[in-house]
């Protein structure tokens, strides 16, 4: 199984400041089409997860442009250019390169 | 756009089984695979498996093989996840999710399954 590791597990942030979350995989997520099968989800308190970034760097529909994804192979980053109060929750990376599909352990973002 | 609506919370005793439904509204049910994932209290997300509504073929995570069955009824645009031999470790919120190429654009609201004697 591909193991996904996120850091940090907890991230206190100041509104208006940037933030970054890291995700590594035990196998390369780059497929033959040149896409990384790595996606980011945000689970806000009391809600279902929602898709933020797919294929490593593509913003999902309706996602603010302060969110961006980067990386390739086994190392990925989710960046928030200016954190807003509504961004609190748990961020998860997920690989779909092979089954079983696996999630990272999550990064809990909270306002300082 | 797809809205996924799940069945309500369930309480079961250890050793029992549970069946959770996920009904798709707003688009063709056969357009997307339906995936199931769960989240134990205070824990992260765990993928359980998927079913193709079109062909009915399934793929289960090894951890659930032999204990989980995913089915669908295309006439009512509903997918089901049934789990047998429940233990307290199966207490969790169970989600269905859908989207192209294993990218989960759409999620159900979640179904809490509590296993307690």
Mean pLDDT of A60-81: 98
In Å, how far is B2's CA from the nearest CA of chain A? 13
d(CA B117, CA B114): 10
Q: Is B53 on the interface with A (CB under 8 A)?
A: no
d(CA A109, CA B104): 21
d(CA B85, CA A62): 41
In Å, how far is A101's CA from the nearest CA of chain B? 6
pLDDT digits (tens, 9 = 90+) for B70-115: 999 999 999 999 999 999 999 999 999 999 899 999 999 999 999 9
Chain A residues in contact with B95 by the CB 8 A cut-off are 48-49
pLDDT for position B1:
82
The minimal CB distance from A102 to the residues B47, B107, B109 is found for B47
pLDDT digits (tens, 9 = 90+) for B13-64: 999 999 999 999 976 778 899 999 999 999 999 999 999 988 899 999 999 9
- Do residues B79 and B96 touch, judged by C-beta distance below 8 A? yes
């Amino acid at each position: 199984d591909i193991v996904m590791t996120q850091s940090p597990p907890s991230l206190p942030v100041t509104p208006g400041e940037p933030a970054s979350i890291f995700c590594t995989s035990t196998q390369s997520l780059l497929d033959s089409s040149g896409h990384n099968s790595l996606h980011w989800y945000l689970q806000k308190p009391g809600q279902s997860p929602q898709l933020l970034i797919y294929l490593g760097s593509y913003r999902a529909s309706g996602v603010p442009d302060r969110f961006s994804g980067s990386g390739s192979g086994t190392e990925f980053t989710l960046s928030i250019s200016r954190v807003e109060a509504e961004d609190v929750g748990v961020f998860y990376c997920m690989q779909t390169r092979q089954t079983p599909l696996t999630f990272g352990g999550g990064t809990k973002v909270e306002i300082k | 756009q797809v809205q996924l609506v799940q069945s309500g919370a369930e309480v079961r005793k250890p050793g029992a089984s549970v069946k959770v439904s996920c009904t798709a509204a707003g688009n063709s049910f056969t357009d997307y695979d339906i995936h199931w994932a769960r989240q134990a209290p205070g824990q992260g997300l765990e993928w359980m498996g998927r079913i193709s509504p079109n062909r009915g073929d399934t793929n289960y995570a090894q951890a659930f093989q032999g204990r989980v069955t995913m089915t669908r009824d295309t006439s009512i645009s509903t997918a089901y996840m049934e789990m047998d031999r429940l233990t307290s470790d199966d207490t969790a919120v169970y989600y269905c999710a859908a989207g192209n190429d294993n990218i989960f654009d759409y999620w159900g609201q979640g179904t809490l399954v509590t296993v307690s004697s």
